Structure 1
Amino acid sequence: MESEKRKHTYGFISNLIFMIRELWNFEKKGVFVPFIRIPSDIAVSFLGIWIPKIVLDAIEHSVPVYEFVMQLSLLTIAMMVLMYVSYYMEQSIFMGSVRIWNLHFYIKKSWKIVDMDYPHFASPAGKTNIERSHQALSRNINVNMVSFYPHFIELMKNIFGFFSYCTILIMLNPVIILLLILSYVINVLLVLNIEKWQHHTKDERAKMDRQLDYVVSRTSDSSIAKDIRMYNMKTWINSMSEFFMEEQYNWQKKIASKRFMQVLFEALLLFVRNGGAYIFLIWKMLNNEISIGEFVLYFGAITGFGQWLEQIVSRIGRLSTANYKVYDYRYFIDTMDKMRRDEGASLPPVSEPVEVVLENVSFSYEGSNELILDHINLKIRKGEKLAVVGTNGAGKTTLVKLICGLLEPVSGRVLMNGIDIKEFNRDEYYSLITAVYQNVCLLPVSIAKNITFCSDSDIDWKKLNKCTELADIKGKIESFPNGFDTNLVPSVTDHGVELSGGENQKLMLARALYKDAPLIILDEPTAALDPIAENHMYLKYDELTENKTAIFISHRLSSTRFCDRIILINDKQIAETGTHDELMALSGKYKEIFDIQSQYYKNSVGEEAI
């Protein structure tokens, strides 16, 4: 039912209205200017078949040279002026607008990607929709979604040209028109059937394109360049690239095969259609029913009539393709967020730590029946420092994403200060949380802007200095000639620098501290730090999390001692909870993991190794 509703909502007329409205809001003259080309192009086409008739009639009737030259000159000048007007309208005004208009849609698509609910972005269906929106806005404006309106204008021109030539051929024989139209209707149905097939196979091809793009993009990813060389991944990358390219090639062959059959059928129709019309025309001239000039006029009209019809068929095919791309774009752009975006519940004060409660929370990813977390009940008190531990894949990061509101539980609820977080405005709720995740996100701007996300005039420099000092990165920043104005991402920015993994983590910690939210989440924040830097952070942990509720995720159980409480997630549930000493005394899973991790640091083991 939802699929049928989508089809109805994004039909051709709806897409046409959408594109006209978007163009009107973007540049009004872009809506009207193209229509000026319609009469000028049709007039040029008429003159193209009328001038030969004038020449032959003048010769046949011995028209005076002066009169003949004047007629021919005026018609030629008129054709030149009309051709220039058409070219100027298309290239100087309309196509220029379309190129920028394409950027307008591209920016809206990019904004939607970064603003949409995280579950939509992360789900398999969401990734497919994103890929289809990318394909709808390919770089070639002649085939992507912005070609919809130009193709529509060209279709209108071809239809008007077709009817204008009908007026000439009616004088010859109306039956010819009917036969020509019938042959082209058959061709149109064939073209539309191919376009429909391409649209229905788009999801499968989008998945394949996404896989190929991933393999190709990884080859230029500087973060794995060392792995590619050290582990000789070139063979694997080449084999995967060849596999996906072979899949893509097979699809292209299927499409080309259908197009070839279409062209072959068109050629057969052309032979039967035009051949019959020309035989009829020659027969009428031999029977003195038409003059030589009229023969040339009708001959040109039949040829032109066929060309108008061919262009109508071609434009319908291209317009159909563009229509499907507008459909894909609108389907993605109109994806509704489930989380609250309107006015929500009042936020708790940002100057005080918050309480977080999970009531019977279960979670599984879209399209999967396997639970990642099963009936989690947890209360994090205001100002508490909680450590979350467990084996890889236990669900620690998923738990954090649920608390952050990035994911929604399939059952149960998450409360902050007694209010279901669904009741808060989504973006306002994000302002209550600051997080340091395992993946580092750097922008090609200065270090100061990477931390604050503010313009230079809005940066609180005193606060920035304090946060970078707490994060133990200030000294490194000040060692650069440009200090905080030093750009990052050297592959994009001029004179940019590249920080080490540990330095990047410290920078992310400074970013989290600068945001100064009442709930701070640290997901493996010391994974890339050396032991000295890690110990330095532990010693400062109370200062880093002062007056905040803190959640600390770590695989290293030795790092959890400074937290007020530790929970261990195992088998989709909270298996153990308590302080480090309490969990060690419990002699459960926590103690087992701790002993395994710590055995290599014990003196007895070290002495035996020596």
Structure 2
Amino acid sequence: MPKKSKYSILSNVFYMIHYTWKKHEKKVLFGTFLIILGRVAIHLLELYISPVVIQMLETQVSFLQFSETLLLFLLGLFVAKGLVSYMTQVIKYSKITIRMELVADINQKEMTTSYPNVLDKHFWNLGNETRRAVNSNSSATEFIWTVLTDLFVQAICFVVFLYLLSTFNLWILIIIVVFSLVSYFLNLSVSRFEYQHRDEEGEMLKKVSYQTRLGENRSLAKEIRIFGIQNWLDEITTQVFSIHEGFRRKLQKRYLFSRIVNLLLIFLRDAISYVFLINSFMNHNISLAEFLLYLSTINTFASWVTGLLDQLYSLSQISNDISIVREFLEYPEPFLLDSVEAFPHSQNGLYEIRFEHVYYRYPNAKDYALKDINLCISPGEKLAIVGLNGAGKSTLILILCGLLSPTKGKVLLNGNDISQFNRTDYYSLFAAVFQKNMVLPGTIAMNVAQSHDIDYKRVEECIQKADLTKKIKSLPKGLQSKLNRTIYHDAIDLSGGEFQRLFLARALYKPASILVLDEPTAALDPIAESELYQEYNHLTQNYTSIFISHRLASTQFCDRILFIKDGSIQEEGTHDELLKKNGSYRKLYDIQSKYYQGGDEDA
């Protein structure tokens, strides 16, 4: 369904003024005001200089009076143009600063928003559109100052010229205003159509962007060549591009119709106005100086009306983009991120977490991913959560870590519902190694500490615990070695197992109470995975530890194992207890054992 802008034009203008004031860039406001005054002065001086000169020649004033008057006009123009030029340069970089402050706020929103928003398709579509409003000097959040300046100049001059025309012929005034209003509302209808279909175009642009990046994705290079899918990808790309081009073509037709009607209105408006003016002069109703003044006024007034309406139209478009920025920055947060409720810190750093009849269903999903989960995780316990892919293990962990909230049921921390606490405080309890981990474009030390404020002694201890010291010492720059070759040409690379140890060191560096390992070794072979899990077991003695895996043999050391199937806890116990039950856990364990034994024999 097409949407209307959530905020009015006036509301968005005041938002930008308030934001500019709040960011201590007041020079933009004062500079814009002075530029408006200077430009109005320039237009009025240029309007009157020729008629005044002709009038002085007709009345044969003295040379001294003629020279003084002309000099005053020229001096006024010099001062006004100098003021405009100077203030334009003064506020130029301040306008950029305001836009970059908004970019920083947008980045902050993306990085700190509640995790359910990360899964919200509308949130990310809105985010993509928001980037368009801040990505260049011509973007709405910077260009608004230019439009506001032009608008106020046009409005002030419109009032002055309105008065001049009203003293000549009221019908001319009415014709120019009516024709210009028709033109404006025609343009406005096109602008509204584009804004109301922004979500539709945003989805198209997302697909276009994805298809464009496919050719840049080196991970697909082998498949494209081996399976010969280049032509197939080209066909899909062409289809995606065609859909977007069709939408733009529909929009362009509306713009074309609007422009043709505008040109016709301009022709009729000028023809009628000139007939009236020439007729008045030929009948000696006005002098030559007045003829020149009214001719300039009519020509300029027509452009002022059109310009004023064009600026209003531009402001409406800019307001649409600013509305999108505001909608994104003010996007509702399902979690409490600024709660003042006291967080129940434990004196010994250990916590009990309890699930009470927890259900979870992803947005727009038909079935529950988790069903009636009842679970108590004791302080210091080593808990394994195992099961096949898609069983619901990772969803359970996301709820445990507070990244998702149950659709039904409660999660309790030491008996308190976690929904009442600042979610950021709750996050501080956890350190994690996930299946996919982010490598920061920075040094190894920075990647461990996740900060520029680095405790190098602690980094070295964590590197040693993660059995990565030998590798680090072999590097010429040691902990100062850079990672991420996309950013640094001299960055080093690590193997899959070395990266997993680096991520473990990162998790150990954080002073957390609960350590979560969500299938971090899924890309490793079973033997390497088993060895790494044994190290995890040794290194997590002082933590409440949660291990997630679909390989059952890797978590035998845990105090308790939950076997998850179809979103429910189907079996629970130690490894030996679950084998003795001869249930689903035993069947899957036997199948995996045979598979790995068979693989070893073949090798």
What's the TM-score bracket when you normalise by the shorter of the two chains?
A: over 0.9
Q: Which amino acid aligns with 1:81?
A: V
Task: Encode CA deviations 1:227-274: one digit per residue, 9 max, x unaligned.
Answer: 556655654554443333222222222222111111111111101111
The aligned runs of 1:159-174 (5 Å cut-off) are 159-174=155-170
Contact in 1 for aligned 2:132/2:139 (Cα 8 Å): no
Query: Does residue 253 of structure 1 match 2:235?
Result: no
Which residue of structure 2 lines up, in the alignment, with residue 319 of structure 1? 315
Which residue of structure 1 lines up, in the alignment, with residue 407 of structure 2? 410
> 5+ unaligned residues in a row in structure 2: which ranges?
none
Q: Within 2, Cα distance between the matches of 1:473 and 1:530?
A: 19
Q: CA deviation at 1:173?
A: 1.1
Contact in 1 for aligned 2:516/2:545 (Cα 8 Å): yes
Bigger mean CA offset, 224-233 vs 98-107: 224-233
Which residue of structure 2 lines up, in the alignment, with residue 48 of structure 1? 46
Contact in 2 for aligned 1:158/1:312 (Cα 8 Å): yes
User: SS of the residue aligned with 1:602?
Assistant: helix
Query: Does residue 38 of structure 1 match 2:36?
Result: yes
> 5+ unaligned residues in a row in structure 1: which ranges?
none
Query: Does residue 511 of structure 1 match 2:506?
Result: yes
Query: Does residue 439 of structure 1 match 2:436?
Result: yes
Q: Within 2, Cα distance between the matches of 1:284 and 1:529?
A: 92
Q: Which amino acid aligns with 2:84?
A: S
RMSD: 2.5
User: SS of the residue aligned with 2:45?
Assistant: helix
Q: Which amino acid aligns with 2:377?
A: I
Match of 1:546 among 541, 544, 549: 541
Bigger mean CA offset, 235-244 vs 33-42: 235-244
Sequence identity of aligned pairs in percent? 33
Which residue of structure 1 lines up, in the alignment, with residue 129 of structure 2? 132
Match of 1:11 among 8, 11, 18: 8
Q: Which amino acid aligns with 1:453?
A: Q
Contact in 2 for aligned 1:285/1:295 (Cα 8 Å): yes
Q: Within 1, Cα distance between the matches of 2:372 and 2:162?
A: 74
Bigger mean CA offset, 154-163 vs 380-389: 380-389
Match of 1:526 among 521, 530, 542: 521
Distance 1:517 1:233, change over 3 A: farther
Q: Within 1, Cα distance between the matches of 2:490 and 2:309?
A: 54
Q: Within 2, Cα distance between the matches of 1:244 and 1:389?
A: 40
Q: Within 2, Cα distance between the matches of 1:334 and 1:205?
A: 22
User: SS of the residue aligned with 2:585?
Assistant: helix
Distance 1:343 1:39, change over 3 A: closer
Task: Encode CA deviations 1:150-169: one digit per residue, 9 max, x unaligned.
Answer: 32232121111111112221
Which residue of structure 2 lines up, in the alignment, with residue 94 of structure 1? 91
Q: CA deviation at 1:73?
A: 4.6
Contact in 2 for aligned 1:386/1:564 (Cα 8 Å): yes
Query: Does residue 567 of structure 1 match 2:565?
Result: no
Match of 1:208 among 204, 218, 237: 204
User: SS of the residue aligned with 1:540?
Assistant: helix
Query: Does residue 338 of structure 1 match 2:371?
Result: no
Query: Does residue 176 of structure 1 match 2:172?
Result: yes
Q: Within 2, Cα distance between the matches of 1:160 and 1:149?
A: 17
Q: CA deviation at 1:448?
A: 0.7
Q: Within 2, Cα distance between the matches of 1:409 and 1:345?
A: 22
Contact in 1 for aligned 2:355/2:412 (Cα 8 Å): yes
Query: Does residue 266 of structure 1 match 2:262?
Result: yes
Contact in 1 for aligned 2:436/2:520 (Cα 8 Å): no
Task: Encode CA deviations 1:404-432: one digit per residue, 9 max, x unaligned.
Answer: 00000110011222222223321111111
Q: Within 2, Cα distance between the matches of 1:600 and 1:76?
A: 93
Q: CA deviation at 1:100?
A: 1.4
Q: Within 1, Cα distance between the matches of 2:389 and 2:600?
A: 27
The aligned runs of 1:195-594 (5 Å cut-off) are 195-221=191-217, 234-340=230-336, 341-349=338-346, 351-455=348-452, 458-461=454-457, 463-493=458-488, 495-529=490-524, 533-594=528-589
Bigger mean CA offset, 463-472 vs 162-171: 463-472
Distance 1:224 1:348, change over 3 A: farther
Task: Encode CA deviations 1:284-323: one digit per residue, 9 max, x unaligned.
Answer: 1111112223222211110100111111111111100111
Contact in 2 for aligned 1:191/1:313 (Cα 8 Å): no
Distance 1:225 1:530, change over 3 A: same
Q: Within 1, Cα distance between the matches of 2:110 and 2:537?
A: 37
User: SS of the residue aligned with 1:574?
Assistant: strand
Distance 1:14 1:234, change over 3 A: same
Q: Within 2, Cα distance between the matches of 1:351 and 1:373?
A: 32
User: SS of the residue aligned with 2:515?
Assistant: strand
Contact in 2 for aligned 1:354/1:548 (Cα 8 Å): no
Which residue of structure 1 lines up, in the alignment, with residue 592 of structure 2? 597
Q: Which amino acid aligns with 1:28?
A: K
Match of 2:76 among 69, 75, 78: 78
Q: Within 1, Cα distance between the matches of 2:579 and 2:505?
A: 33
Q: Which amino acid aligns with 1:547?
A: N
Distance 1:228 1:474, change over 3 A: farther
Q: Within 1, Cα distance between the matches of 2:540 and 2:202?
A: 45
Task: Encode CA deviations 1:77-104: one digit per residue, 9 max, x unaligned.
Answer: 43233223222222x1233221111101
Bigger mean CA offset, 401-410 vs 370-379: 370-379
Which residue of structure 2 lines up, in the alignment, with residue 121 of structure 1? 118
Q: Which amino acid aligns with 1:542?
A: N
Q: CA deviation at 1:214?
A: 3.0
